[in-house]
Amino acid sequence: MREAFHEQLDSVFGDLADVCRLVEIAVRDATAALLQGDAEIAERVISSDATIDSAREKIEDKCFSLLSLQQPVAGDLRVVVSALRMISELERMGDLSVHVAKIARLRVPEVAVPEQIRPTMTRMAEVAEDMVARVSRIITDKDVEAAIELGRDDEIMDQLRRRSFTELLSDDWAHGVEAAVDVALLGRYYERIADHAVSVANRIVFVVTGQIPVDA
């Protein structure tokens, strides 16, 4: 019975990694839509949200079934509860990708990101996508070292966010209020994707060690 239970737990983490890969695609495509002003790609990201939501529901159902039928205690309970929290974080990352795609779609045929701030926004998107990809591997391998390292690397995103505000508030900003609002929102979305990635990674540390990282 316990062996079957742990197989079911392992399958939940496999499902979480699969959802994380869907989120990675959503982040990448949302960025492509944003930087290219491509409405078709933006629509694809927006449509993909239903797939991620459906996957979340299936994982939640699995977890609730394990809780009700197996009545796990101690470490096993910790794993199930952590999985529930992780899928919530992953779904939110997908939602944030949709927000990016909606801004891209709103500005078509123009591009929402002015050339002046494009390097910073591109770098933010790259960091967010990289962090999501790493989280997928962290979930699969239950890699505590990689999870802790991801938390430290979040400072890169924080620095980029600060740089974007410096550029927005500079005297030579000539793109108007609408573009400034778009850029401020986009920066926030990418920053939050990174924050959720770190949160998921911290949950893996908790699953393996029973402790949340000090800086979490």
Cα 198 to Cα 2, 34, 131, 164, 202: the distances in Å are 31, 24, 8, 21, 6
216 assigned to some structural domain: no
pLDDT at position 215 is 56
Mean pLDDT throughout 177-181? 94
Is the pLDDT confidence value at 6 over 80? no
Q: What is the pLDDT of residues 62-90, one digit of tens each?
A: 999 888 877 777 778 888 999 999 999 99
70 assigned to some structural domain: yes
Is the pLDDT confidence value at 200 over 80? yes
214 assigned to some structural domain: no
CATH (domain of 205):
1.20.58.220
215 assigned to some structural domain: no
Is the pLDDT confidence value at 129 over 70? yes
> Could you list the residue range(s) of the whole structural domain that residue 95 is in?
2-209
- In the block, residue with structure tokens 């494009």: 118
**Count of domains forming the chain:** 1
52 assigned to some structural domain: yes
Nearest to 69 by CA among 22, 1, 139, 116: 1
For residue 154, give both structure tokens.
Answer: 């979040």
